[in-house]
């Protein structure tokens, strides 16, 4: 056996990657929240703080029961209690919204005021009368909600992802750009009427925070659940404002921009779109981040499916308007268990667990497949797009919108994973096993990849 191992060593050395990614994790505990859906971590700003690592956690919870009360919750400086999650007691922010979705904080420059909570709400009948709402005063005694998402109209709209704040008309004020969905049930056997739009709500000249029903302007038809404001390069190295627009029901993925030289969006005849991908998948989530550690931003995209959901990365071309977006599928085969799968999908949202300049591990919500996963890169080689999919959490129902950050300044990353069917939010901590201590954490697990050496040695020991 020893001679065989010595014979194989030169080949083992040649085949080994320079680094095999590995991450340690520990479940710190959980805290109760009825029907938790979305979670968001936001770094606190605009007031005296004990450190630079003060994060507020926001949660939404809802049921599909008609007339049932839904809730928006917040936890100020959640890092104070991170080592005792069972002691976390969320503060009720509001119970007036039907089907609240993503909850976040409006950036301070928008109104020159900190602590303005933004709530997006609505989804499916009978809770499809949604809104984009602003609530000032966090943390503390919050004020009444101001609905900025247009005057009441016959067509009901739902808003899932938080708006992007961009000056769309060049007046110096930041406007709310958001995707929205209209889902109307028709008498059988007719299918529902579904419409998606990218729209911007124009901030008023004054008192925007106190003014409801901002004027609305449609950019394009298509995106239903979310969009992402980005600045992308064109030929010559200049940048233009653009919006990434995944379409779930439309099964398309596009980028939209204006040909106006000043990035003013008031002339519809100057608005252009280009297709990033149209392989008939249901595009659900998109982020702009450096996925492979080469120093260049990529698109991290999730497509949701009953039988074959995927996580993929698109490399951004030199000119986003005319170039080809190279696609790399880094995980696939996600499926919804059971026989009742219609209207369901997996996976959900993805979060990068970035600790340094190396290729990061990806934390992924399985949504309707009742799991959370880690996608661990096989190597740190930027050209290697292979990942290992490892289950992190098995739940009894939907795993909601996850969030992660170093919330207490210890260099590790903490994550919050809503378990809708368990009425609780799980709390995890992630550390870099490659650079970590020699002592493993109690009740922890390690997600990584077996090196070729360990595989071959195990084979030799077993078979002699």
pLDDT tens digits, one per residue of 315-324: 999 999 999 9
- Give the per-residue pLDDT at 459: 27
Distance between CA atoms of residues 295 and 302, nearest Å: 22
Task: Please state the rounded mean pLDDT for residues 258-279.
Answer: 97
CB 160 within 8 A of CB 120: yes
For residue 8, give the H/E element and its range: helix 2-15
**Residue 382 pLDDT greater than 80, yes or no:** yes
Neighbours of 344 (CB within 10 A): 17
Task: For residue 385, give both structure tokens.
Answer: 């797009």
C-alpha Rg value of the chain to the nearest Å: 23
329-376 tens-digit pLDDT: 999 999 999 877 778 999 999 999 987 778 999 999 999 999 999 999
- Give the per-residue pLDDT at 150: 74
**3-state SS assignment for residue 4:** helix
Task: Please state the rounded mean pLDDT for residues 70-85.
Answer: 96
149-203 tens-digit pLDDT: 977 667 899 999 999 999 999 999 999 999 999 999 999 999 999 999 999 999 9
Question: Lowest-confidence range among 41-55, 77-91, 387-401, 447-461?
Answer: 447-461
Q: How confident is the model at residue 434 (pLDDT cuts 50, 70, 90)?
A: low
**Residue 448 pLDDT greater than 70, yes or no:** no
For residue 259, give every residue at least 6 positions away whose Cβ sits within 8 Å of its Cβ, in sequence order, or none: 270, 271, 272
**Residue 426 pLDDT greater than 90, yes or no:** yes
Distance between CA atoms of residues 296 and 386, nearest Å: 18
Of all residues in the chain, the percent with pLDDT exceeding 90 is 78
**3-state SS assignment for residue 241:** strand
Could you tell me the CA-to-CA distances from 9 to 2, 274, 300, 354 in Å, in that order?
11, 51, 38, 33
Of all residues in the chain, the percent with pLDDT exceeding 70 is 86
Average model confidence (pLDDT) across the chain: 88
**Residue 421 pLDDT greater than 50, yes or no:** yes
For residue 134, give every residue at least 6 positions away whose Cβ sits within 8 Å of its Cβ, in sequence order, or none: 106, 116, 117, 118, 145, 146, 148, 209
Pairing state between β 361-365 and 350-353: antiparallel
DSSP letter string, 252-309 = EEEEEEE--TT-----GGGEEEEEEE-SS-EEEEEEEE-SSSSSS-EEEEEEEBSS-E
**More confident call, 240 vs 358:** 240
- Give the per-residue pLDDT at 285: 96
Q: Residues 139-154, buried b or exposed e (16+ Cβ, 10 A)? A: beebbebbbbbbeeee
Task: Please state the rounded mean pLDDT for residues 420-444.
Answer: 68
CA 316 to chain centre: 19
Which residues, listed in sequence order, are joined to residue 372 by a DSSP beta bridge? 365, 393
- Give the per-residue pLDDT at 380: 93
Tokens 């083992």 locate to 12
Task: Please state the rounded mean pLDDT for residues 383-404.
Answer: 96
**Residue 406 pLDDT greater than 60, yes or no:** yes
Instruction: Please give the torsion angle defined by the CA atoms of residues 203, 209, 214 and 217, in that order, rounded to the nearest 10 degrees.
Output: 40
- Spatial strand order of the sheet with 146-147 comes to 100-105, 117-121, 132-135, 146-147
Closest C-alpha to 178, from 130, 120, 231, 103: 120
CB 224 within 8 A of CB 179: yes
Closest C-alpha to 162, from 101, 93, 251: 101
Distance between CA atoms of residues 340 and 336, nearest Å: 9
CB 400 within 8 A of CB 425: no
DSSP 8-state code for residue 462: H
- Give the per-residue pLDDT at 49: 62
**3-state SS assignment for residue 12:** helix
Neighbours of 11 (CB within 10 A): 11
CB 32 within 8 A of CB 457: no
Distance between CA atoms of residues 271 and 286, nearest Å: 21
Q: What is the 3-state secondary structure (H, E, C) of 401-446?
A: ECEEECCCCCCCEEEEEEEHHHCEEEEEEEEECCCCCCCCCCCEEE
118-139 tens-digit pLDDT: 999 999 999 999 999 999 999 9
pTM for this one?
0.88
**Residue 458 pLDDT greater than 70, yes or no:** no
Task: Please state the rounded mean pLDDT for residues 435-456.
Answer: 34
- Give the per-residue pLDDT at 187: 94
């Amino acid at each position: 056996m020893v001679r065989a191992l010595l014979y194989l060593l030169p080949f083992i050395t040649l085949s080994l990657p320079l680094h095999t990614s590995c991450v340690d994790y520990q479940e710190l505990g959980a805290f109760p929240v009825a029907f938790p859906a979305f979670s968001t971590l936001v770094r606190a700003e605009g007031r005296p703080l004990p450190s630079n690592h003060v994060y507020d956690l926001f949660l939404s919870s809802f049921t599909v029961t008609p007339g049932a009360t839904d809730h928006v919750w917040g936890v100020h400086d959640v890092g104070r209690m991170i080592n005792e999650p069972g002691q976390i007691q969320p503060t009720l922010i509001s119970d007036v919204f039907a089907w609240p979705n993503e909850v976040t904080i409006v950036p301070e420059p928008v109104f020159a005021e900190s602590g303005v909570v933004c709530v997006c709400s609505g989804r499916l009948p009978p809770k499809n009368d949604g809104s984009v709402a602003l609530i000032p005063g966090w943390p503390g005694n919050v004020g009444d909600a101001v609905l900025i998402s247009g005057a009441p109209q016959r067509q009901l709209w739902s808003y899932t992802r938080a708006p992007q704040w961009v000056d769309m008309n060049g007046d110096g004020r930041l406007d709310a750009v958001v995707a929205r969905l209209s889902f109307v049930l028709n008498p059988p056997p007719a299918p529902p009427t579904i419409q998606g739009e990218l729209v911007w709500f124009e901030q008023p000249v004054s008192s925007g925070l106190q003014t409801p029903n901002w004027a609305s302007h449609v950019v394009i038809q298509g995106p239903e659940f979310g969009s992402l404001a980005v600045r992308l390069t064109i030929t010559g190295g200049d940048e233009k404002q653009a919006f990434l627009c995944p379409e779930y029901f439309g099964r398309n993925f596009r980028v939209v921009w204006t040909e106006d030289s000043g990035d003013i969006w008031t002339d519809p005849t100057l608005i252009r779109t280009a297709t990033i991908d149209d392989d008939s998948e249901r595009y659900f989530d998109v982020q702009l981040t450096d996925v492979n550690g080469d120093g260049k931003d990529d698109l991290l995209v999730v497509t949701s499916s009953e039988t074959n959901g995927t996580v993929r990365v698109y490399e951004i071309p030199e000119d986003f308007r005319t170039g080809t977006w190279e696609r790399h599928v880094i995980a696939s085969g996600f499926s919804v268990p059971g026989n009742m799968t219609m209207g369901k999908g997996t996976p959900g949202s993805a979060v990068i667990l970035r600790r340094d300049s190396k290729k990061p591990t990806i934390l992924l919500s399985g949504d309707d497949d009742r799991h959370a996963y880690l996608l661990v890169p096989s190597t740190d080689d930027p050209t290697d797009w292979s990942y290992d999919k490892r289950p992190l959490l098995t739940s009894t129902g939907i795993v909601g919108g996850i969030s992660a950050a170093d919330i207490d300044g210890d260099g590790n990353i903490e994550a919050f994973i809503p378990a809708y069917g368990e009425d609780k939010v799980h709390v995890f901590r992630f550390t870099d096993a490659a650079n970590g201590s020699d002592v493993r954490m109690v009740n922890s697990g390690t997600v990584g990849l077996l090196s070729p050496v360990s595989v071959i040695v195990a084979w030799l020991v077993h078979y002699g």
